[in-house]
A and B are shown apart, each in its own frame.
Chain A
Amino acid sequence: MPARADFASDARVPLVAIEGVTKRFGSALALDDVSLEIGAGEFFCLVGPSGCGKSTLLRTLAGFEQPDEGRTLLDGRDIAGDPPERRPVNIMFQSYALFPHMSAAKNVAYGLARAGLPRAEIAARLRELFALVRLEGFEDRYPAQLSGGQRQRVALARALARRPRLLLLDEPLGALDRRLREATQIELKGIQSRLGTTFVMVTHDQGEAMALADRVAVLDRGRVLEVGPPSALYRRCRTRAVAEFLGDVNVLSGVVVARAGGRAQVRLGESGALVEAADPDGAGETGSNVEVAVRPEGLVPGDALGATVEVATDLGPNALVIARTAGGATLRALLPAPGAAGPPPPGTPVGFAVAPGAAWIVR
């Protein structure tokens, strides 16, 4: 189990440092004292519900919004006064914002022409970029003549053309259908690791963040709730809100009866069963009431928790069982594939136990 890490690697120089940034629109607080450090070469994801300030944070880094308080540093230098055109940062807009009156090639070349590159060099770079996003042959098409996925690639190539230190992506895959999105995720990750460019990507899809990010920051109402590698946050986060945002989770209440190292023995309130839960922060003192989080895949057949099946769905590789305990709590468990017999019918009594290492204490 990976330990909680606030930074992917301390050896990396933070490329971006956001220090106490606050941004208001009128009386609305879009960013509330946000502090983050992002290392060079990192694939960093911002996740959070709609309206939590993700786009505002990207627009602040790109230079379209000025923070009301706090500083944004790039390579240790405060970039507050730099207009967007003078930052070594590029952004891929949620809407792609392709220029409708220019061909795909003209769109991608726009930033290169502004940099005053000679024609021959622009042509060479265009070939590279169109190959990188696998759009050879579409150079002369206008945005209106391209599919959604092709437009997304043109926008990516255009944003990469100036070889930015930092690439900002605002829900780059949001407009694609599920299949295409999954294929594009893999490609995006490939392009990022090949170029070594630092990516900061906004998504409201926690699965996408899990699949792509080196580290994730979970935002809510303008505040950073938690930061860390997605697999660590998924299994060991500090707060219930983050646990719930990152996927399905069962939250059980109980009392700490013993502690040892980073672990606590918790007697569950309803069944009285003893569960061992990770508690890296030491949140639960002996005798205190705590909440224990367990992912659906952390519940296994056993006898610690008795319940009756409400709905069971065969998902193919496994079955999702939603069951209710005698006390009225709902449990969600991801069990092995039910086989040809099918999932258990509603009303079937079931028993669960917590898999070793699967539970942790949340606030």
Chain B
Amino acid sequence: MRGARFGGLDLAILAVGLAFLYGPMLLLVLYSFNASRLVTVWGGFSTRWYAALLANEPLREASLVSLRVALVSAALATLVGTLAAILLARPGRVAGRRTFTALLLAPMVLPEVIVGLSLLLLFVALGFERGIWTVTLAHATVTTAFVAVVVQARLLGIERDLEAAARDLGASPATAFLTVTLPLAAPAIGAGFLLAFTLSLDDLVVASFTAGPGSTTLPMRIYSSVRLGVTPEINAASSLLMGLVGAAVLVASLASRRRAPTT
């Protein structure tokens, strides 16, 4: 039933839930603008920690590593995940469709520690030198499943007769796909890319297993600094990371809601 109004109690529960979810993050953002060096004492508003962040070589480097890993791994995951989704969403019979779907989606529910460890073992066995490329490959592996799910859902929602209509009107299978299916799936592919991007950006576990010297990602850097004590600089870095992830999620959700124009 739609149209039910929120009662007072519902609102209170909602407020507590949201506070629980977002309170800590708000606090973190607030303290990133704290003029005081002491993390627990409010010393007035200041952007000095953002300036300090810019001057902090290791944090800056880690940010660049994270961005590069996220961009490249998301691109890879989008390519592979989209191709997988296209195959799995084909109309008619595809041999082993269920098995492949299950195999593709398994990494979504496997514990990250296990995924990280197994990738580490694989890279060692293959004699890969650990570095930015191994992290990138590892992230692409993990996030492909997420892209495939998002894109497959969209492809299954596209009317089956559309591609047939294109064929009927003289399009080859490839042209029909490129002019009809792909444009209709594009918002989901974009959303899948952004999802993979954010998953890579905030991953700590898999990156820790597969990174090598010189490929420390931002979450890894933040985590290791925090063990020596929280500094406002880290708050600033975390706030920026949050902002980036939040923006990506927002764009992704807007993109996946986009439809053909109405009215």
Instruction: Please report A residues at the B interface, Cβ cutoff 8 Å.
Output: 62-64, 83-85, 89-91, 93, 95, 97-101, 110-111, 114-115, 142-145, 158-159, 161-162
Contacts and interface: CB of A to CB of B under 8 A. Distances in A.
Nearest to B169: A111
Nearest to A115: B170
Given A64-B164, A114-B175, A162 B170 contact: yes
B87 interface: no
A114 B166 CA distance: 9
Given A85-B171, A85-B172, A114-B175, A97 B165 contact: yes
Nearest to B262: A144
B180 interface: yes
Nearest to A83: B167
Contacts of B184: 100-101
Given A84-B164, A97-B162, A99-B162, A158 B263 contact: no
Contacts of A101: 183-184, 260
A84 B168 contact: yes
B260 A91 contact: no
Given A64-B164, A97-B161, A99-B162, A90 B262 contact: no
* 3 nearest A-B residue pairs (beta carbon): A111-B169, A114-B170, A97-B161
Contacts of B166: 99, 110
A84 B262 contact: no
Given A91-B168, A95-B159, A115-B170, 20 more contacts: A84-B167, A85-B167, A85-B170, A90-B169, A93-B164, A97-B161, A97-B162, A97-B165, A99-B166, A101-B183, A111-B169, A114-B169, A114-B170, A142-B261, A144-B259, A145-B261, A145-B263, A158-B169, A161-B169, A162-B170
Nearest to A59: B164
Interface residues of B, number: 22
B155 to A, nearest CB: 14
A159 to B, nearest CB: 8
Given A83-B167, A110-B169, A97 B159 contact: yes
Contacts of B167: 63-64, 83-85
With a 10 A CB-CB cut-off, give which of B162, B165, B261, B262 has the most chain A CB atoms. B165
Contacts of B170: 85, 111, 114-115, 162
A146 to B, nearest CB: 11
Interface in B186-214: none
Contact of A114 (B164, B171, B259): B171
Contacts of A91: 165, 168
Contacts of B263: 145
Nearest to B261: A142
Contacts of A144: 259-262
B262 A145 contact: yes
Contacts of B262: 142, 144-145
28 contacts: A62-B168, A63-B167, A64-B164, A84-B164, A84-B168, A85-B167, A85-B168, A89-B168, A93-B161, A93-B164, A93-B165, A95-B159, A98-B165, A99-B166, A99-B180, A100-B184, A100-B259, A101-B183, A101-B184, A110-B179, A114-B170, A114-B175, A144-B260, A144-B261, A144-B262, A145-B262, A161-B169, A162-B169
Nearest to A143: B260
Interface string B235-263: 00000000000000000000000011111
A120 B260 CA distance: 27
